[in-house]
Amino acid sequence: MPGAQRQSIGWRADKRRLTIAAIVAALLAPLALSVNSIRAQAVATAARAGVRPARYTEFEHPEMVQILGYNDNQGNSNDAMEPFISRDGNYLFFNGLNTAPTTSLYWATRVDDVTFQFRGALAGEVNSPGPLNAVPSMDSDGNFYFITTRSYGNLGTPGYLATLYSGPFSSGAVTPVSPVPGMAAAQPGLVVFDDEVSADGNTLYFTVGDYSTGNLTATTMMVATRRSGGFVIDPNSKRIMHAINNRFLNYAADTSADELEFYFTRTNLKIGPQIWMATRKSLSKPFGRPRQIKAITGFAEAPSISPDGLSLYYHVKNSTAVFEINRVTRTLKR
């Protein structure tokens, strides 16, 4: 998103003015592995073994991604935000307008790199009647993660201050779902949002936003690792993200299969949201100094890298003020 409820939490750069009181009021009222996903796991394994990471050209050639029957060049024009390309490349997950009264999660199947067939809303328990269900991601085993505000204000329950949920994806449905253990916010006013799970399912990259004044005033991007059925903050999180976190608003984490590339949105409120990336040489190292992806212009957020690392998907506000999914591409250096 950045985060949970864009109507009441105001996640992106132009929607950050609603209060925590509004949030609480709203809250109370076996995926088969393909060749691509096997390759993604192999890349991740190579990174852990210290194999030198691939080298690429710069991203270029922005173009629209058609979701046939939903947002396309055939007369369908609906908001599509927060794209996530599955680790096998076969699915596109996304949500609708994140400032709508209710925001739901959808899925589409791959036709080619810039064309997907709309399949509808995700079935099962992933879409609640509440105001926001958004920001999809999934590991290579089909464990689906998303942000929802359904239980944030439920004092005394396992879902209190929790916005990150997960469940198994199968045949267009995610069910059952439950809060991810260990990932609730530390205190009221702080919100966990815009997460992404790593391809191997063992690491979460996410943002904690400070809404204690009623507006989003600060963000901290963090890393959590799997432990005892849940996740705990990585003791090296601050060091890993040292170059990412700064005085601007940073959110919408995305990682390559080998976790050596990190993509995110950085918002300077005077300029608007832009997509940035950082790299590292091994998993034991922090990410280096990030750089903006210059080929991506306009109001752009929420990057998602393809399994082969050659296409980067994101949402952008088009000339008619509708959010659509675009992509930029690159090639391997020889």
Per-residue pLDDT reduced to its tens digit, 173-231: 999 999 999 999 999 999 999 999 999 999 999 999 998 888 889 999 999 999 988 99
pLDDT at 229: 83
pLDDT-derived band of residue 84, with 50, 70 and 90 as boundaries? Answer: very high
Q: Is the pLDDT of residue 303 over 50?
A: yes
Between residues 99 and 310, which one has the greater pLDDT? Answer: 310
pLDDT for 134-154, tens place per residue?
999 999 999 999 999 999 999
Query: How many Å apart are CA 3 and CA 92, to the nearest integer?
Result: 19
Whole-angstrom distance, CA of residue 232 vs CA of residue 225: 6
- Segment 234-257, tens digit of pLDDT: 999 999 999 999 999 999 999 999
Q: What pLDDT, on the 0 to 100 scale, is given for residue 269?
A: 83
Task: Characterise 302 by phi-psi region: left (phi > 0), alpha (psi -120 to 50), beta (else).
Answer: left
pLDDT at 12: 38
What residue spans define the domains of the chain?
20-329
pLDDT of 334 reads: 80
Residue 17 pLDDT? 31
Kindly indicate the confidence band of residue 270, based on its pLDDT and cuts at 50, 70 and 90. Answer: confident
CA–CA distance, 84 with 137 (Å, rounded to integer): 6
Q: Tens digit of pLDDT for each residue in 98-136? A: 989 999 999 999 999 999 999 999 999 999 988 899 999
Query: How far is residue 223's CA from residue 242's CA, in Å, rounded to a whole number?
Result: 11
3-state secondary structure of 46: helix
Residue-level pLDDT at 129: 84
- For residues 280 and 286, the answer to whether their CB atoms sit within 8 Å is yes
Residue 27 reports pLDDT greater than 50? no
223, two tokens: 């890393």
Chain-centre distance for alpha carbon 67: 18
The pLDDT of residue 51 is above 60: no
Please state which of the ranges 22-26, 262-266, 275-279 shows the lowest mean pLDDT.
22-26
For residue 317, pLDDT over 50 is answered with: yes
**Edge-to-edge, what's the strand order for the sheet holding 105-112?**
66-68, 115-121, 105-112, 91-95, 81-85
The predicted pLDDT at position 215 comes to 84
CA 317 to chain centre: 17
Measured between alpha carbons, how far is 182 from 86 in angstroms, rounded to an integer? 24
Enumerate residues 6+ apart whose C-beta is below 8 A from 49: none
The single residue listed with the structure tokens 């280096």 is: 288
> Identity (one letter) of the amino acid at 165?
Y
pLDDT score for 226: 97
Instruction: Provide the pLDDT confidence category of residue 20 given band limits of 50, 70 and 90.
Output: very low
Which pTM does this prediction carry? 0.86
Confidence of residue 26 (pLDDT cuts 50, 70, 90): very low
The confidence score (pLDDT) of residue 196 equals 98
State the pLDDT at residue 11.
37
CATH code for the domain defined by 20-329: 2.120.10.30
Helix (H, G, I), strand (E, B) or coil at 238: helix
Split at pLDDT 50, 70, 90, the class of 6 is: very low
